[in-house]
Amino acid sequence: MLYEIKLHILSPVHIGCNECYTPTEFVIDVDKSIMIHFDLWQFIKTLNDKEWKEFENISEKDTVACLVQLYRFYSKVKEKVKGRIISIPKELAERYREVKQLNDEKEILKKFNEFEIPRTFFNPYTQTPIIPGSSLKGSLRTGYLDKTLAESPDKENLIKNADPRNPEQLEAKILEGQMSTDPFRLLKISDLEPEGQVKTKVIYQINVNKLKDNIRSTLSIPIEVIPEGSIFKGTVKLDSLIENSDIKKPFDFKSLLTKVHAHYAEIFNREVDLRKNKGFRRPLIEQFKNELKIKYFLIRIGKHSGAEAVTIESVRKIKIRTAKGSIWDKTPTTIWLASQNKKPANLSQAIPFGWVMLEVVNADTL
């Protein structure tokens, strides 16, 4: 059976791809708080002889200071720079202005690290973001495992024997299969591409203690995200089970999504409770409410989904670092939020990462 799906992005999503924006390929327009990401080869073609000479001189230097000179040069010719526009926090734009004034090498290196901005997964030809099928499939699998274990008649035994060093064994027991007999091999999820134009943006990822009032500002790092309001589309194919197959525990798409929704809705509701104390923003799900669990299913994907979203509730063991070493606990003590400010006075503009509403377009076939 083939299903068309859409992902409605409810809060910022970052899918890691091990790549950062390199300082040679962007310029920041401080006044507009935007980053222009350009193709270096196309840019070079636009330079006149004098500019080319200057660019060449900077490129041939082997000092740290040449990084600042490059920034100054880019800013000088920024009218010529054509590329993809990415909105950035005002504070980061200001930091760029400061970096351009620096002369001290140590200081330059330190400040430069702030512009190591991790990119969200993208198509290298079009530079547009992609949500890989692997990310979505992993999230669906976690939700399904969590609720299947919760309903298992052998629950107590499975929980007692769960080994954190061998999580695959627990998964195999819950699914009653492994590798060729794993029911998830019947589920084929495509990579998802943007519907219409999706403009990524840069925000700060801030780490907030759930209990205390402080914000750990040392852990406020910029990151590129897919913003809320974006929509991605793709397909899901669920192969039918062959009679006499060794896959013992197949599922249909509706029951998979129902369990997945139940897993993530619990975490969502806990965040709503936490919000009452911390005051951060809540992803808006009202427009989907009438057809929730019928056509729309809540999930969470990508970086900073939080340890609770990516683990099985009854066996969860989270390593928590304390002043005296580390301890194991059921729930993490901090939460990561997406924020426009590096160290906001309050969290009213900040929002948790990774919330997505999965829509089954042809839900009548579920």
Partner 1 sequence: MKLKEIKAIKGKIIIKTGLHIGSGNMEMQIGGTDNPVIKHPFTQEPYIPGSSLKGKIRSLLEYYYGIVQEAAKSEDFKNSGGLATPKMLKNADGEIKNHIKNILKVFGAGAGETDENLIIEIGPTRVSFSDCRLNEDFKKQAEQNHWSYIEVKSENRINRITGTAKDPRFIERVPAGTVFDFEVYFKVLDDEDEKLFEDYLLKGLKLLELDSLGGSGSRGYGKIEFQFDDEALKNKFNSLKLWG
Largest separation between any pair of C-alpha atoms in the chain:
77
Nearer to partner 1, 96 or 251 (CB): 251
124 lies in the binding site for partner 1 (CB under 8 A): yes
Rg, the chain, Cα only: 24
Nearer to partner 1, 174 or 202 (CB): 174
* Neighbouring C-beta atoms of residue 317, cutoff 10 Å: 11
Let me know: does 232 contact 192? Beta carbons within 8 Å.
yes
**What is the DSSP track for 316-341?**
--EEEEETTEEEEESS-SEEEEEESS
Rounded-to-10 torsion of CA 290, 293, 296, 300: 130
Which of 150, 198, 294, 310 touches partner 1 by CB under 8 A?
A: 310
Question: What is d(CA 107, CA 281) in angstroms, rounded to the nearest whole number?
Answer: 35
Let me know: does 236 contact 253? Beta carbons within 8 Å.
yes
Stretch that binds partner 1, among 24-32, 99-107, 231-239, 350-358 (CB under 8 A): 231-239
How many residues line the site for partner 1 (CB under 8 A)?
Answer: 52
Which of 33, 120, 148, 311 touches partner 1 by CB under 8 A?
A: 311
Let me know: does 249 contact 175? Beta carbons within 8 Å.
yes
178 lies in the binding site for partner 1 (CB under 8 A): no
* Neighbouring C-beta atoms of residue 122, cutoff 10 Å: 17
Which of 317, 348, 361, 362 touches partner 1 by CB under 8 A?
A: 317
362 lies in the binding site for partner 1 (CB under 8 A): no
Question: What is the per-residue binding string for partner 1 in 26-45, x denoting contact by CB under 8 A?
Answer: -------------x-x----
172 lies in the binding site for partner 1 (CB under 8 A): no
Applying CB under 8 A, the residues found at the interface with partner 1 are 2, 16-18, 39, 41, 121, 123-126, 130, 132-134, 136-138, 142, 145, 162-164, 167, 170-171, 184-185, 187-191, 193, 234-235, 237, 239, 242-245, 307-308, 310-312, 315-319
